[in-house]
Chains A and B, each alone.
Chain A
Amino acid sequence: MRARSLVLMVLLAASAVLAAADPQTAPADRTTFPWLEDFETGPFPPAGWDVYDWDENNYCWGDTQDQNHSPGGNTSAVHYRGTGANFDYEEGWLVSPAIQLPGPGYSLSFRAYNVDPNAWGQNIILVSSGSSDPEDGQFEEISYNPVPLAGDWYHYEIDLSAWAGLTIHVAFLYSGWEAHDWYLDDVQISQYDGIGGFPWCENFEFYQFPPSLWSFYDLDGVDGS
């Protein structure tokens, strides 16, 4: 309950955009696939990405060389946990550039590495086919706490067919109170041809069932399975 109350307090506060894309200079929509962001080049956030620090406290999304998944690379994105001080609730958005999905059969995949995951933190993946600003309320969740496990770079993959033909932004939303550190790397959108990254985990935390890319068959024809 405490964490939820803090969320509300932060939402009522004015949000801050640390780095917003300038419409005059922003790169064009991403239309070439596979599209990959490995956070290896340039300042952070990378060109076309936005970071929103809704809590305006200590940390927000940044880059780090503490952890890396990219082959030959040394950098990942990260949102660290709060300091533990009173009201040091952390809630930060990392929003992708506009990506124009050519059609069905495309998926979002990424690698995530969590340090000290616990009950007071959340990793949420969202998609907006409208505004890239979370304040506009057009993002919808597509995954919740996708990779709560620690100790390795877990692969996660989500079907984007529902947005086929649309231009979307993908957002990574960190929130937590004295929670975990979330490292993020190798964000990719490509034509889906199966899960090819391991370790891979499904923890059924998101409300959608079966989870994205899963299926179920009720051969007995009776509800309940």
Chain B
Amino acid sequence: MNSACHWYCLDQPLQDGWLVSPLLQLPAESAIEFSFWGKNTLYDVYGAPNSVWLSEGSPDPDDGDYVQVWTDTDGYDFWDQKSVILNDWAGSEVYLAFRVQSQSHEWYVDNVMLQVTGNDITGPSISHYPMLNTLRNDIPCALYAYVEDPAGVAYLGAYYQINQAGDWIWQGGTDLGGGNWMAEIPAQQLGTEISYVLVASDFLNNLTYSQGYSFQVDDPVWLYYDSLGQTGWAGWNDCEWKLGVLYENPLWGQPEQLQINKVTAAFRLDDTVNLEIYSTNDPWPSNLVQILAPQPQTVLAEQWIEISTPDLELDSHYFFIVYSGINATNGFAHDVSRSYPGNCYFHIDADWIDLANTGVFMLRVEVQTAGGGLAAPELSILSGSEGPELHWTVVDGADRYHVYSSDDPAVNQQYWGLFDTTEALTLGALGDAARNFFYVIAEQDELPTQVLPGPNRPVPLPFVDLRRHLK
């Protein structure tokens, strides 16, 4: 029924009333919360802010030992519980004081409580989606984590190492609020592998180390959500189904387009499936724009296949890679050791269903900054028995070479003529063109498929029936 109160006093412009607690022996190595219920009357003329102060010395404010630990910028006419974390004073003897300086409003205080919320020796929990490989060598690599601890999170940071050599470098993180933290590894040059471990501490100096992760900065580079370890097959038993994996365009916001080079996949059973690719600006599979029409692919049981996708470029924020026409009972390589909610989907009827926290599809895609394509062959002209001969170097993946010719090297490329197309690496008998200028372009067939070494596991991997996701 009762509470403490400081009344208003309009006749006296300077109020300075202190209500001081008993001496409090705060336990060491503990998380300590000081709380109370407060309410204001005349809150609409809320004056100088109410505040709470702490002294490790004298209880008398005149002695100057107090520091402010809490204040309220606004008044309120309802009972509201306020809380002050005192972990920084664990092990100290302190006085806590309620201070009123306003002459215009009243402050009621009740149920003042001090409790030890944890005498823990456990570090924070760290939830982290490991950094994907990236094309970007011009910006820091941002590592995001959600960190929780009953005693409060003192900090999160990352130790990282370059190319598995040299010192581990500490990079402190930033508190983004709401338990979200971010640590930035400085921009790295292409061809770099970065290993990192996240470290978080609570206010009691309990540490947590995440497992180790690594990613690559390169161009081209493979994007994938899995841990490189297959744990089983995930599929749908009742009818034909699709799967889709959504990736963010690592070049989003940059002038360069993203080029998709290859896609790898592994199915549990022999099948004929369709590869489709879509662009979208939504962070989920909607408003999809098809950029690769369904391409039938024959896949063999438990064989990793690599499918090239030449000349496929996009500038959307996201792209979505789909395998459709998958037979019932067939499954796709699945890794439950990682999950990226909102990125791996299966499709039945008319709905894309998120795998959420139940693992990822091991569908991987190689991307690069557009404009790379096949490498340019290096051209040289040598003297042969029948006059000049063109020789060029082999280009990986090329199925043929187009030889263009012009008598004027300064004209636009469109005026150069196609002189020949050949699968060879040399061309003679140039005839009237022997005194012309030449360039050679390598070309690759559409969607070549390559079978890669299979999982080669001694025991059958488990099959996850995705019907469980619908329950």
Chain A, residues 207-225, CB within 8 Å of chain B (1/0): the string is 0011001111111101011
Q: Does B19 contact A (CB under 8 A)?
A: yes
CB within 8 Å for A200 and B15 given contacts A205-B1, A217-B60: no
CB <8 Å contact, A199 and B20: no
The residue that B116 contacts in the complex, of A193, A198, A222, with Cβ under 8 A, is A198
Residue on A with the closest CB to B6?
Answer: A225
CB <8 Å contact, A210 and B113: no
Chain B, residues 1-40, CB within 8 Å of chain A (1/0): the string is 1111011110110111111111111010000100000000
Q: Does A72 contact B (CB under 8 A)?
A: no
- Please, how many angstroms separate the alpha-carbon atoms of A219 and B20 in the complex? 13
Residue on B with the closest CB to A223?
Answer: B9
Chain A facing B: main interface SS: loop
Chain B residues near A215: list those with CB within 8 A. 20, 59
Chain B residues near A219: list those with CB within 8 A. 16-18, 61-62
CB <8 Å contact, A203 and B110: yes
Chain B residues near A225: list those with CB within 8 A. 6-7, 9, 15-17, 100
CB <8 Å contact, B61 and A220: no
- Please, how many angstroms separate the alpha-carbon atoms of A216 and B16 in the complex? 11
Chain A residues near B100: list those with CB within 8 A. 225
Q: Does B395 contact A (CB under 8 A)?
A: no
Residue on B with the closest CB to A198?
Answer: B116
Q: Does A202 contact B (CB under 8 A)?
A: yes
Chain A residues near B27: list those with CB within 8 A. 196, 198
CB <8 Å contact, B20 and A214: yes
The residue that A217 contacts in the complex, of B2, B18, B32, with Cβ under 8 A, is B18
- Please, how many angstroms separate the alpha-carbon atoms of A224 and B25 in the complex? 30
Chain A, residues 171-196, CB within 8 Å of chain B (1/0): the string is 00000000000000000000001111
CB <8 Å contact, B22 and A217: no
- Please, how many angstroms separate the alpha-carbon atoms of A194 and B27 in the complex? 12
Chain B, residues 89-106, CB within 8 Å of chain A (1/0): the string is 000010000001000000
- Please, how many angstroms separate the alpha-carbon atoms of A161 and B20 in the complex? 19
Chain A residues near B112: list those with CB within 8 A. 201-204
Chain B residues near A198: list those with CB within 8 A. 27, 32, 114-116
Chain A residues near B127: list those with CB within 8 A. none
Q: Does B111 contact A (CB under 8 A)?
A: yes
Max chain B CB contacts within 10 Å: which of A194, A198, A200, A209? Answer: A198
Chain B residues near A199: list those with CB within 8 A. 113-116
- Please, how many angstroms separate the alpha-carbon atoms of A88 and B116 in the complex? 38
CB distance from B381 to the nearest CB of A (A): 89
Chain B residues near A222: list those with CB within 8 A. 9, 11-12, 15
Q: Does A21 contact B (CB under 8 A)?
A: no
The residue that B22 contacts in the complex, of A152, A157, A203, A205, with Cβ under 8 A, is A157
CB <8 Å contact, A196 and B25: yes
For window 199-251 of chain B, which residues contact chain A by CB distance below 8 Å? none
CB <8 Å contact, A224 and B7: yes
CB distance from B181 to the nearest CB of A (A): 30
CB within 8 Å for A193 and B23 given contacts A199-B116, A200-B113: yes
Chain A residues near B61: list those with CB within 8 A. 217, 219
Chain B residues near A206: list those with CB within 8 A. 2
CB <8 Å contact, B22 and A195: yes
CB <8 Å contact, A194 and B114: no
For window 440-461 of chain B, which residues contact chain A by CB distance below 8 Å? none
- Please, how many angstroms separate the alpha-carbon atoms of A157 and B23 in the complex? 11
Q: Does A108 contact B (CB under 8 A)?
A: no
- Please, how many angstroms separate the alpha-carbon atoms of A152 and B116 in the complex? 12
CB <8 Å contact, A214 and B19: yes
CB <8 Å contact, B15 and A216: no
Chain B residues near A196: list those with CB within 8 A. 25, 27
Residue on B with the closest CB to A210?
Answer: B19
CB distance from B8 to the nearest CB of A (A): 8
CB <8 Å contact, A194 and B16: no
CB <8 Å contact, B3 and A204: yes
CB <8 Å contact, B17 and A214: no
Residues of chain B at the chain A interface (Cβ within 8 Å) = 1-4, 6-9, 11-12, 14-25, 27, 32, 59-62, 93, 100, 109-116
Give the 7 A-B CB pairs with smallest separation, nearest first: A225-B17, A194-B23, A213-B22, A199-B115, A219-B16, A196-B25, A217-B18
Enumerate 24 A-B pairs (CB-CB under 8 Å) in ascending A order.
A149-B111, A193-B23, A194-B24, A195-B21, A195-B22, A198-B116, A201-B113, A202-B21, A202-B111, A203-B111, A204-B2, A205-B1, A210-B20, A214-B19, A214-B21, A215-B20, A216-B18, A217-B60, A218-B16, A220-B14, A222-B11, A224-B7, A225-B6, A225-B9
Besides A199-B114, A215-B59, A224-B17, 9 more A-B contacts (Cβ < 8 Å) are A194-B22, A198-B32, A201-B113, A202-B21, A204-B2, A205-B1, A210-B20, A220-B14, A222-B12
